[in-house]
Structure 1
Amino acid sequence: MTRPEGKPTRGTTNQNRLRRVDNWIAAHAAGALHDAADPLVIDLGYGETPVTAVELRARLARVRPDVRVVGLEIDPERVAAAAPAADPPGLTFARGGFELAGLRPTVVRALNVLRQYDEAQVAPAWATMTGGLAPGGLLVEGTCDELGRLAAWICLDHTGPRSLTLAARLSTLDTPATLAERLPKALIHHNVPGEPVYDLLRALDDGWRDAAPYATFGARQRWRRAVAAVKAGGWPVLDGPARWRLGELTIAWPAVSPSMPAKFS
């Protein structure tokens, strides 16, 4: 058997940690899942416990009841430990890494996986994963905090990155600047003056500050005003108020791509 590509993650996880990204996938990949003859989704690097894979299957089943989720881990002990949670054919577990165990999924979710790698390793990992996607498939790669209150992820297809999404639990958000701590590996070292992602976070932070009077009506109204200000400032915002009220902001990738990114091929 070919050795899986990659290395084990720290493995930490919590219930509902990935709820925000799961719900985003359910909304944005609904068309791809609906059209897929085999609605296969991979949860890459699910960690020490299979809870995130179990939750992903349940959330995507609302979009496509016959969706299949395969949790992949490099560590064979984690695969064995997850076996009792399997519910074939809807949920299974196997050993695999960036090569996706030779499967051809419609969606790959890889959260908190590439954070431990060097930035130079990100683009090759992206290329390996997107190269294994089914036609029209998507890769969602990013990072979140331990409780899932702050998150950021990049959506890619076979051509490369398409968008960056920032997401926060608004009731506990102090300032959007804290989202910088959870930027994906491809961006986190570029949060410096002169880089687009730095300018985006600054614009969002400025909008949040200027919208402080709307805090009287709740954090959602304040966030919506802040995102609206970002859009009015010329940023290519891809989502609308229905997603903003959830504490999200999705930007077209070219607007935040690092000035000297690693090559994607």
Structure 2
Amino acid sequence: MPPRPRPPKPLGTITRGTTNPNRLRRVDRWLAGPQGHRLRRAAAPLVVDLGYGAAPVTAVELFTRLRSVRDDVEVVGIEIDPARVAAAEPLARPGLTFRQGGFELPLDGRLPVFVRAFNVLRQYGEDEYAAYWDEVRSRLAPDGLFIDGTCDEIGRRSTWAALDTGGPVSLSISLRFGAFTLPSDVAERLPKALIHRNVEGEPVHAYLRALDRAWLDAAALASFGHRQRWVAMCGALKADGWPLLDGASRWRLGEITVAWEAVRPG
């Protein structure tokens, strides 16, 4: 997909910008872990924290975490609000910079390996997100991913959709053990593409119900801890034919990733 012409002004609107330290640790762990191969293969790994908010802490954390994968990774924090960019400048350093911009990704023609936009598109209308998905996808490196995610205020409940240049690839759910009663408690944190689709007859609703059933069926393992129960739940879903894209090493972290085709809006 050829990059779209860059718009004359930042594409998007200023969002609330609230954030907290360590809020995005779950998605960062996923990027540095099972997706780290994308960074390792890149000739010049470039990563974007899109819409980092009123404080640049998530961009700084992303930079630190991905440097464990490639010590030459470059992270650019992009914010549409120029005041937020100015406030972030004192934290800039070699490999970490900040720019004003939006979904057009003002990167001087360079193509990022990762674009992470968390708690951004959830503040847009349901009729808007698809165009922004397409805009960012058109500006990815050939092996790149766009991560559109949402989490609660301190990162205990998190979900994200991953998209490559061809479209949506997967949905990940990551929960802190002890921070939920049923896996479907995460429903209010689904990405914009799915949050209004959690109704009877929609694939994502069926998926969350399947998670709940398997979690309840594994109740006998509760005495061994939440981790063992979660792993059993994930194994049951895989046995039932759900196209899971990860395995026990990720499940033990309270994470599960399913192919987008299983939850694609009907």
TM-score tier, shorter chain, comes to: over 0.9
Asked if 1:84 corresponds to 2:108, the answer is: no
Q: 1:205 aligns with which of 170, 190, 212?
A: 212
SS state at 1:28 partner:
coil
Deviations 1:72-127 (A, max 9, x none): 00000000000111112x11000010011144211100111100111121111011
Question: 1:167-200, CA deviations, whole angstroms, 9 ceiling, x for partnerless residues?
Answer: 1001322211111010000000100010110000
String of CA shifts for 1:37-83, please: whole Å, max 9, x gaps.
11000000000001000000010001011100000000000000001
Q: How do residues 8-19 of structure 1 correspond to structure 2 at under 5 angstroms? A: 8-19=14-25
The AA in structure 1 aligned to 2:33 is A
Q: How many residues align?
A: 258
Other structure's SS at 2:106 match: helix
Provide the alpha-carbon RMSD of the alignment.
1.1
Quote the offset at 1:213 in angstroms.
1.5
Task: Give 1:34-113 correspondences, 5 Å limit.
Answer: 34-88=40-94, 90-102=95-107, 103-113=110-120
Could you list the runs of 4 or more consecutive aligned residues of structure 1 that deviate by over 2 angstroms after TM superposition? none
Q: Which runs of 5+ in 2 are unaligned?
A: 1-6
TM-score (normalizing by structure 1):
0.95
CA displacement at 1:205 relative to structure 2 = 0.5
Partner of 2:221: 214
Counterpart for residue 171 of structure 1: 178
Residue of structure 2 equivalent to 1:263: none
The match for 1:4 is 10
> Does structure 1 residue 27 correspond to structure 2 residue 33?
yes
Cα distance, 1:28 vs. partner? Answer: 2.9
Secondary structure in 1 aligned to 2:214? helix
**Separation in 2 of the partners of 1:151 and 1:177?**
12
* Correspondence for 2:239 among 232, 237, 253: 232
SS in 2 for 1:258: coil
Secondary structure of the 2:173 match is strand
What code does the residue aligned with 2:34 have?
H
- Aligned to 1:156, the other structure's residue is in SS state strand
Q: CA deviation at 1:204?
A: 0.3
Counterpart CA distance in 2 for 1:30 and 1:152 is 19
Greater fraction helix: 1
- Identity in percent: 59
Return 5+ residue gaps in structure 1 as ranges: 260-265
* 1:194 corresponds to 2:207: no
Q: Give the Cα separation in 2 of the matches to 1:136 and 1:211.
A: 38
> Is the contact between residue 47 and residue 114 of structure 2 (CA under 8 Å) also seen in structure 1?
yes
For residue 172 of structure 1, give the secondary structure of its aligned residue in structure 2.
Answer: coil
Structure 2 CA distance for aligned equivalents of residues 172 and 43 of structure 1: 26
Does structure 1 residue 246 correspond to structure 2 residue 245? no
